[in-house]
Amino acid sequence: MISVIIATCNRPHTLAGAVSSALAAGGEVEVVVVDDSAAQTGREVVEGLGDPRVRYIANPAPTGGRPAVVRNLGWPLARGELVHFLDDDDMVPAGYYDRARDAFADGATGVVFGVVEPFGDDDGVVDAERRYFTAARHRALRCARLGVRWGVTAGLLFRPAMLVCGAGMVRRAHLPALGGFDEAVAIAEDVDFYMRATRLAGARFIDATALRYRIWPSLMHKPGNGAVIASSYRQTYARYRAEHGRAELLALKLLARAL
């Protein structure tokens, strides 16, 4: 079974579509909606669906926009072998979960991720994002050729991000060792998470659309957040250096240059 963890905050107008897309993406699925809004705006959406596969929990201490914290409330409740962290404004393509299960079938791969397909109302912005994620697809293919563990780890550390949170999936068995998402990382916590998961257990890239990614004003697309992103990456490097040593971090930086 795939457990889909959806962190939501004041987006009832997109939440229903995200949940419905996950339920229709193939095979046995459960959805855990974790509501970070003080007004619990997602409760009515979940109750309105009336689907026993969907559970609702409210964050007792709303964070005001810290998705790492909210996702970490959800994954310990997962009952599936695989866990998908889906944002409340994105959608899963029909049939993708069957592809993902096949990619995990070797019993060893820890992370599976695929292609991001942007969509939205501003054609110019969407086209720019589509060019970015087309380039990201090519980077992912090159990373995979260098090795599904070290190539992808190096690429996530030192190259432009190849994924967003909902484009990846992880084995639930690895989550306790990872400690879930690093709540100290303000932005790009998803890149940090999948980098650590890949180093731990390897990754496989599916060259097919894994996520329909909505482009509109959001935390990641907020103007002027470059300094916050840079700070988040410095935190990731510092943690990696402390856990695995300066020599390994430098070796991965050199490997990334080959990408």
Over the stretch 131-156, which tens digit does the pLDDT of each residue have? Answer: 999 999 999 998 877 767 899 999 99
Q: What share of the chain in percent tops pLDDT 70?
A: 96
Per-residue pLDDT for 88 more than 70? Answer: yes
Per-residue pLDDT for 219 more than 70? Answer: no
Range of the domain at 184: 2-257
Q: Are 110 and 198 in contact (CB under 8 A)?
A: yes
Per-residue pLDDT for 226 more than 80? Answer: no
Mean pLDDT, rounded, for 85-103: 96
Length of the chain: 259
Over the stretch 7-36, which tens digit does the pLDDT of each residue have? Answer: 999 999 999 999 999 999 989 999 999 999
Q: How confident is the model at residue 64 (pLDDT cuts 50, 70, 90)?
A: confident
pLDDT for residue 149: 87
- How many domains does the structure of the chain reveal? 1
Three-state SS across 98-152?
A: HHHHHHHCCCCCCEEEEEEEEECCCHHHHHHHHHHHHHHHHHHHHHHHHCCCHHH
CA distance 130 to 213: 10
Distance of CA 182 to the CA centre of its chain: 13
Instruction: Report which DSSP code applies to 91.
Output: B
- CATH code, domain carrying 6: 3.90.550.10
pLDDT for residue 230: 81
Rg (CA), the chain: 17
Mean pLDDT, rounded, for 37-54: 95
Over the stretch 165-198, which tens digit does the pLDDT of each residue have? Answer: 999 999 999 999 999 999 988 788 999 999 999 9
CA distance 213 to 164: 8
CA distance 136 to 159: 9
Q: Are 249 and 241 in contact (CB under 8 A)?
A: yes
pLDDT for residue 33: 98
pLDDT for residue 114: 96
Q: Which residues of 9-98 form beta strands (DSSP E)?
A: 29-35, 54-58, 82-87
Instruction: Report which DSSP code applies to 63.
Output: -
